[in-house]
Amino acid sequence: MDQKELDDAYTQSVYAANLRQIVRRWATNSEAARERLGPPERLAYGTEPIEALDVYRTDRPGAPVQVFIHGGAWEQGSAKSYGFPAETFIRAGAHWVVPDFSWVQDVGKSLLPMAHQVRRAVAWVYENAASFGGDPNRLYVSGHSSGGHLAGVILTTDWQKDFDLPPDVVKGGLCSSGMFDLKPVRLSARSRYIDFTDEMEEALSSIRHLDKLHAPIIITYGTLETPEFQRQSRDFAAAVEAAGKPVQLLVAEGYNHFEILETLANPYGLLGRAALEQMGL
């Protein structure tokens, strides 16, 4: 793979001509979901204005919690555009929680502060789930694209060392269309807006920290995704299996990088069914 091919393999618009159409649809469907469900509760997990999360509550007491980490190439995206799957989870009896966090260009072009934010968001949910009717012992994490990368980082966190929490804070994870080894990403055009370092690459490549993985994981990608995003998911699933950890690899035939996420909003779709089954719903 030459440099242009590598750059293209980490540039979603090259492989998904309908990118803008789908992203607009996410926003429109999220607004429609809020019209039906009411606005989410906005709760702070940190001291910075961006460090807050949207909580879409279910009526069931002691319900499991699904924390979704949004994508956007680490440089865009916000929680309000990811309310569209909320209704599926609420109707099934789970809370849907979406944290906001900084964009890489606003935190010194480093992914490390973003990783710390999403980890703190999950720790906050674990410690405060009961306050909004959630069961802290039934906490699940999902993410898509760069959010799939960050979900992998969350799943390979040393919760005891870093947060003085149980090692199995997260009971299950779903990583859709993510990146799990930052080496090739570092070599791509994404290095133009991210100042990669050896420390960052090592710390945030979840495939290198599977000893800290304490939850079953579902890994997914679409057959119309870029070659690198398909390979990253396959390699991560193979590494998790080789480490003797529970893993399920799901392949969405005929779906591109953006289309696959819409199946999370369908209880009978590939991602929606998988996430709900993982939660026991």
Alpha carbons within 13 angstroms on the beta-carbon side of residue 99 total 31
Length of the chain: 281
Residue 255's pLDDT is what?
A: 98
Query: How many angstroms separate the CA atoms of 71 and 48, rounded?
Result: 20
Q: In what order do the strands lie in the sheet with 95-99?
A: 41-44, 52-56, 95-99, 63-69, 134-144, 172-176, 217-222, 247-252
Identify residue 137 by its one-letter amino acid code: N
Contact 200, 109 (CB under 8 A): no
CATH superfamily of 3-140+158-278: Alpha/Beta hydrolase fold, catalytic domain (3.40.50.1820)
Separation of alpha carbons 144 and 176, rounded Å: 5
Question: CA dihedral defined by 217, 81, 221, 173, rounded to 10 degrees?
Answer: 0
pLDDT given at position 47: 98
The pLDDT of residue 1 is 84
Torsion of CA 260, 266, 271, 276, to 10 degrees: 160
Give 10-residue mean pLDDT values along the chain (281 residues).
94 94 98 98 98 98 98 98 99 99 99 99 98 98 99 99 98 99 98 98 99 99 98 99 99 98 98 99 98
Q: Is 189 exposed, middle or buried (0-12, 13-18, 19+ CB in 10 A)?
A: middle
Are 183 and 230 in contact by the 8 Å Cβ rule? The answer is no
Q: Give dist(CA 137, CA 51) in Å, integer.
A: 23
Q: What is the pLDDT of residue 175?
A: 99
233-243 burial, b for 16+ CB within 10 Å, e for fewer?
beebbebbeee
Angle 183-239-233 from CA coordinates, rounded to 5°: 65
Is residue 39 classed exposed, middle or buried when 0-12, 13-18 and 19+ CB atoms within 10 A define those classes? exposed
